[in-house]
Amino acid sequence: MRHFTSITQLGNLQDALAAAKYVKEHPFADQELGRNKTLLMIFFNSSLRTRLSTQKAAMNLGMNVIVLDVNQGAWKLETERGVIMDSDKPEHLLEAIPVMGCCCDVIGVRAFAKFESKEDDYNEVIVNQFIKYSGKPVFSMEAATRHPLQTFADLITIEEYKKTEKPKIVMTWAPHPKALPQAVPNSFAEGINMTDYEFVITHPHGYELDPAFVGRARIEYDQRKAFEGADFIYAKNWSAYTGDNYGKVLCTDRDWTVDAEKMALTNNAYFMHCLPVRRNMIVTDDVIESPQSIVIPEAANRVVSAQTVLKEILTQVTQNPEYQQNIKHNK
């Protein structure tokens, strides 16, 4: 695995979960793998868990880490080809990317959907430019359409907490005051579709996701009916995907907020959310503070997911014949 932009690139999920279990139990076992190697983390958007967990994961592997916030302390970057650069963006991404590649061994990129063009967002223009022009392994720290490190952490968490081999997983839309990308729900659906778990997605009409991600999931527009017998509730807001409504907020109905009354319909389900969460919009205080809320262990597993992916990428780097030749030359 040279690049990581989708949970499906993990290959066999059970093997990946076993690798993650090993990493969690032996976090410092592979420091030699990252020695004298540098991870460059590039943020086009804000981050807390992703930045902390990925940096911690790299340090656990013995790597040096450079963090670049594109919006603070760096030149503003133009991302479009063919544009006349007479605005406040003095540097083009197509020159910046190769320069970044000269300064590191692995690149992590965080770049959200802009909602200006569905085609550009769903073609992952930003991340794919890094893959094409950096000359280095690239992994997604959340892109326009997917958040694979989050999904891997979610799958690790479900594996740790499930009480039955085939739990019922319900992903529910919940209200939010702003238009949010579909990256997390897309990616979560993609990940659950790699399992044999029962999978239900519930949301208001108009919030249908890309069918390519929905896969075999059953769509239920009645949230309470969807919750019945659930073992895990995964709450997330997303904006509309279909037609001219792409990127729009169509509903802010707080009847979709996850509360104790709805959780009582479940099979004593665990509550999950990727965080940050808007309390009393997405979920009520009593639910997120309850013993069945596993949002903190879920967040902690972000270190494990990032470290497992980085370990695999570093293994591929060190096995590269060009890398081996450089090692011999430097000796």
CATH architecture entry for 148-298: 3-Layer(aba) Sandwich (3.40)
**In this structure, are strands 270-272 and 168-173 parallel, antiparallel, or unpaired?**
unpaired
For 222-238, what is each residue's pLDDT tens digit?
999 999 999 999 999 99
pLDDT band of residue 322 (cuts 50, 70, 90) is low
Kindly list the strands in the beta sheet with 106-110, ordered across the sheet, starting from the edge strand earlier in the chain: 64-69, 38-43, 106-110, 138-140
The pLDDT assigned to 331 comes to: 47
Query: What value does the mean pLDDT take over residues 28-45?
Result: 97
The answer to whether 7-145+302-330 and 148-298 have equal CATH topology is yes
For 190-215, what is each residue's pLDDT tens digit?
999 999 999 999 999 999 999 999 99
Query: Where do we find the tokens 């959340």?
Result: 142
**Other Cβ atoms closer than 10 A to 240:** 21
The pLDDT assigned to 330 comes to: 45
Q: Is 188 exposed, middle or buried (0-12, 13-18, 19+ CB in 10 A)?
A: buried
The pLDDT assigned to 76 comes to: 80
Q: In the predicted model, is pLDDT for residue 321 greater than 80?
A: no
One-letter amino acid at 71 equals: N
Q: In the predicted model, is pLDDT for residue 61 greater than 90?
A: yes
- Ranges 65-74, 120-129, 143-152, 233-242: which has the least confidence: 65-74
Q: In the predicted model, is pLDDT for residue 59 greater than 70?
A: yes
The pLDDT assigned to 72 comes to: 84
Q: In the predicted model, is pLDDT for residue 257 greater than 50?
A: yes
C-alpha separations of 176 from 3, 51, 264, 277 in Å? 32, 23, 23, 9
Q: What is the mean pLDDT of the chain?
A: 95
The pLDDT assigned to 81 comes to: 84
Q: Which CATH number fits domain 7-145+302-330: 3.10.520.10, 3.40.50.1370, 3.40.50.920, 3.30.9.40?
A: 3.40.50.1370
Q: Where are the domains of the chain?
A: 7-145+302-330, 148-298
Cα–Cα distance between 156 and 305 in angstroms, integer?
8
Q: Is 195 exposed, middle or buried (0-12, 13-18, 19+ CB in 10 A)?
A: middle
Percentage with pLDDT > 90 across the chain: 88
Question: Does the predicted model carry a pTM greater than 0.75?
Answer: yes
Phi, psi of 173 (to 5 degrees): -65, 145
pLDDT band of residue 75 (cuts 50, 70, 90) is confident
